[in-house]
Structure 1
């Protein structure tokens, strides 16, 4: 099976996993963003309360993804994937039917486990596909992380106008219900480690410090960085992280093998992943804001939310195509060179719009370069991690990589919004052009750092195979 020649069902595995990744995580995460004001009104809550519908799922996904990846490594990815999909659907249904904010948040937190589809998908791909197809499949899967956000903006206007905001929450459910049945039929069974044990203390401490740290990060713009609650959360995160590191260095089968994280191919890919996450979400903030600012500002375009979404669409298509093409490039030149090319393209796109944003075609040009570059970079970092770890650690290693990318995305969102807001001449005022120029320039600077990481990443011989190590 897999390596000896693909069956008809196995040829459907990657398209199915890509579809599930979009529905279970990328789209379901982003779909509430266009509807936040309507959710606030519909549930009778505050703007901060409505924003927690996004934060709750982000925290749940960040905590759950590495743990789910580890469970897939231990018990086989197929049964864990099926459980994850069912729990995700239940959470989405609870959120769609919620009549109050607490119920909505509970549903969104349950749905957050859908982020675990990605590390499970990487494990499945590695186990059932021939080596010459692994890089392309991993690249396509990675590019799905950016597709959901663009789709959410494209479908939001028509769905809200015709059916109401709640139907936005039903869209992923409509895709996942048949998706669960298809996963049960198509995804093959693979082996499991019979003697494996779960590091429950490590998982508990890991979840605790991540929740504290990510809550501080996401709430700091609203509460203030010097707020006692933020300082307390940051201190708790640091203390719990120290305890977690002590536990993980002592247990026989840790949740996250720290020796693995120190490998050059892993840590360079993880830091580059964080920078790529920043670059993705920086554009997700800066481009729509710039397009929708009034023409009277002298640099805004007075566009609608739909026009802002359409600006993102070509970049998302470019990102998806580039992610798939990255596999063929990986076979020719290696993941290190693909990451380098992606960082250079993304740097070029952001550098261009930092100095040239007077016309929409300039935004399209820079945005497409950014999308293609990020598609290459996302695929490259995932392939670098897959190639650097033994097969039995694929799920947890790619889960940590996805988590770090989520942290970078949160930083990109918060920092870009703060840069633009700080440029206003007075609190609540209209941002200045300099704020957008600086925001684009900072995003470009992250790619300068990513170029350095690409040069530090280990060289891998191009050609068939994922260069997987045999020993941890």
Structure 2
């Protein structure tokens, strides 16, 4: 998961150098991010469904192999076209998240599921934060292509470990994959995300962006109507109306915004030339991410334990409050590094709690056979939210720019807008279902029928 998360975010700091070396425009270089995001958007729910049908281990090995091949192709790409093809293949690796959640729910006892889901959820944010930490030294010492070799260091051992350690989990045969639904889902998601990512390049009111947005809306309506009439849809509209699912999905969208908005605002603020305050180096900007990364990981582990004590709803409330306070603090006080460290660390811990909580809320709200596709949609919405955070923050900074440099008000506004988004997460957390009562041992066995043989002896003892 860290390998995939690194590959998703690691190219962001190198965009200007990629533009120069591959002789392309800024918009062309930005497609290096867009291509992977679009592929992940399309592949994640489909891969989750395939894992539910044919067993997550088998699908996991294929997905990791394809993602590794795509990352290697991107690292050696001689042209922009080859780079984009490799990044699109690497985006299929987004399916590791729903597959991992399916494995966890299938092979671990209920008492350990929440902690494992929390740890896995925090990896998505950790990989993005680590990419900013390593980007500067790697680019300076080795060149931008080595940024793309770094994820391979995580992906290749991941394949070997998955093959040797991850147990076989039987699939749950059904009517197969809803390919019509997958095609329509892919079409409207590609149109929507392309409009979103190209808004800055083409203009938000340009004919191209408005046309793509209109096409996305029309295709989404058609997709929704089709899915309501399919026996086993890729994304069941009834499932999306479950309170524990829709609240967690909406919170994931806003949490993704919070992660990537900080990924843009904090590094640029540290290095911004300003008449007052500091103008830090790229290394200082990278080091600012370390406590946030550590806090995010530890919070993800703690969230799983807290799930059994207070419930994931309460964990999400605390995560939203911490993240909102962190962003609110730096919106007011961002003149010195210690202020950014305080706000950034609160943001990291809060997002670690929030990411783990939304995943556990979704897992708890659906049947085991729906785990893959439900968590796949949840992961997809985090990606969409991250794209929103990047684009909106960039628009805010561009609007405040004077002589090419964002003004103080731009950073303050960017942080404040993100703090407001976190109040949305808080509202959704309060709307989520309250903690389920702890079930009897027999109920835990019923939730995992294939574990009955191993559960009964321990219950007898």
Length-normalised TM-score, structure 1: 0.91
2:108 to 129, 133, 154: 129
Matches within 5 A, 1:130-209: 130-209=109-188
1:395 to 372, 382, 389: 372
How far apart, in 1, do the equivalents of 2:281 and 2:180 lie?
49
- SS of the equivalent of 2:90 reads helix
Deviation at 1:430, TM superposition (A): 2.4
- SS of the equivalent of 1:197 reads coil
The farther-off stretch of 127-136 and 187-196 is: 187-196
The alignment status of 1:327 with 2:304, answered yes or no, reads: yes
Matches within 5 A, 1:12-161: 21-23=1-3, 25-161=4-140
The alignment status of 1:458 with 2:433, answered yes or no, reads: yes
Aligned equivalent of 2:338: 361
Deviation at 1:97, TM superposition (A): 1.4
Equivalent residues of 1:389, 1:468 under 8 A apart: no
How far apart, in 2, do the equivalents of 1:305 and 1:467 lie?
50
Aligned equivalent of 2:269: 290
Matches within 5 A, 1:432-447: 432-447=407-422
Name stretches of at least 5 consecutive residues in structure 2 with no aligned partner. 449-461
Equivalent residues of 2:136, 2:286 under 8 A apart: no
Equivalent residues of 1:387, 1:468 under 8 A apart: no
Equivalent residues of 1:391, 1:468 under 8 A apart: no
How far apart, in 2, do the equivalents of 1:437 and 1:165 lie?
31
Equivalent residues of 1:331, 1:462 under 8 A apart: no
Equivalent residues of 1:95, 1:105 under 8 A apart: yes
- SS of the equivalent of 1:416 reads helix
How far apart, in 1, do the equivalents of 2:118 and 2:84 lie?
32
Change (3 A) 1:469 1:303: farther
- SS of the equivalent of 1:294 reads coil
- SS of the equivalent of 2:229 reads coil
Change (3 A) 1:260 1:291: same
Task: Detail structure 1 runs of 4+ shifted over 4 Å in the superposition.
Answer: 462-471
Equivalent residues of 1:387, 1:467 under 8 A apart: no
Change (3 A) 1:158 1:462: farther
Change (3 A) 1:176 1:234: same
Aligned equivalent of 1:311: 288
- SS of the equivalent of 1:45 reads coil
- SS of the equivalent of 1:369 reads helix
Deviation at 1:157, TM superposition (A): 2.5
How far apart, in 2, do the equivalents of 1:259 and 1:195 lie?
18
1:351 to 328, 333, 348: 328
Aligned equivalent of 2:394: 417
How far apart, in 2, do the equivalents of 1:169 and 1:176 lie?
11
Change (3 A) 1:38 1:195: same
- SS of the equivalent of 2:406 reads coil
Aligned equivalent of 1:12: none
Name stretches of at least 5 consecutive residues in structure 1 with no aligned partner. 1-20
Deviation at 1:470, TM superposition (A): 6.1
How far apart, in 2, do the equivalents of 1:140 and 1:470 lie?
22
Corresponding pairs, count? 446
Aligned equivalent of 2:453: none
Deviation at 1:294, TM superposition (A): 1.3
Aligned equivalent of 2:354: 377
Cα-Cα RMSD = 1.8
Equivalent residues of 1:332, 1:463 under 8 A apart: no
The farther-off stretch of 371-380 and 172-181 is: 172-181
The alignment status of 1:239 with 2:218, answered yes or no, reads: yes
